[in-house]
Amino acid sequence: MAERYSSFVPGGTAWLLQRITAAFLVVVLAFHFFQLHFVNHAADVTFQGTQARMSNVGYFLTMVLFLIAGAFHGLNGVYNALVNQGLDGTPKKVVLAVLTIAGVALVVQGTYVALAMAGWT
Amino acid sequence: MSQSYNRGLVEDFGRWKEFTAGMWAWIFHKFTGWMLIGYLFTHIAVLSTAIGAAGDTAAIQAETDIYTTTIQGLEELFIVRVLEVGLLAVAVFHILNGLRLLMVDLGIGLEAQDKSFYASLILTGVITVASVPTFMKGVGF
């Protein structure tokens, strides 16, 4: 029987979600870069242009989902990197709590920003 | 039947001279991951200027609102453009190596995992270099 090297629990929800969000992020992150650096140049971004994009419901929902997936994938990745480095016991619980709060705050703030961009605030 | 390996403490970066392709891929993936999540927080912070800009129709029409002037002000800085190229390199590597990891997870092409790491690196380099003219437009290119 081989030792298991990964901090992820096979079959665990976080393990699966990390991979599902990965597959989603590959597509949407590539789209996001292409959209805002090649189709539109970042230097030409204006509130009007942003509002035109964000007030499209499909785009808005994609961006909010992008934010949620990115926040989860990134913070879960950070958490697992720290567990790999030997994080354990109470510090592990504290780090998990801090990362969770940071993630929720990021998603709340980001969603509010998206609503403001769309002109729905 | 699975084989058992004694890999020692892989997380000991002091052993970097012993690292093979797969270990470098692992380290680069962690490093680019840290950069990307750090950037995401910064990104949302900068875009939060949209909250202050929203509703002031006259300023938005004149493109003098705080969101437009903040972004365009940042984009005028040479260093910001250089950092954007860096961000692209980091994101492209993380995406390509991430696809490689999904393949590894699925057990596809395991015997070529070192070659796919080198391919990720080379493709990242090519895409980054090819994107420089687009990213540096208006600040010296």
Q: Tens digit of pLDDT for each residue in A38-73?
A: 999 999 999 999 999 999 999 999 999 999 999 999
Q: Which residues on chain B are in Cβ contact (under 8 Å) with A41?
A: 134, 137
The CATH architecture assigned to A13-118 reads Up-down Bundle (1.20)
Q: How many CB pairs under 8 A join A and B?
A: 110
Task: Report the length, in residues, of chain A.
Answer: 121
Task: Return the pLDDT at A1.
Answer: 43
Please report where in the chains the tokens 């470098």 appear, as a residue.
B24
What is the helix, strand, coil percentage profile of chain A, to 5?
80, 0, 20
DSSP for B103-115 reads HHHTT-SGGGHHH
Q: How far is B25 from chain A (nearest CA, A)?
A: 14
Task: Specify the CATH architecture of the domain B22-135.
Answer: Up-down Bundle (1.20)
Residue B108 corresponds to which tokens in the numbers above?
């596809």
- Here the ipTM equals 0.92
What pLDDT, on a 0 to 100 scale, did the predictor assign at position A84?
84
For residue A4, the model assigns a pLDDT of 56
- Per-residue pLDDT in tens (0 to 9) along chain B, 141 residues: 455 555 555 567 777 777 889 889 999 999 999 999 999 999 999 999 999 999 999 999 999 999 999 999 999 999 999 999 999 999 999 999 999 999 988 889 889 999 999 999 999 999 999 999 999 988 865
Nearest to B50 among A26, A47, A106 (CB): A47
Where along chain A do its domains lie? 13-118
B91 chain-A contacts, CB cut-off 8 A: 29, 33
pTM: 0.90
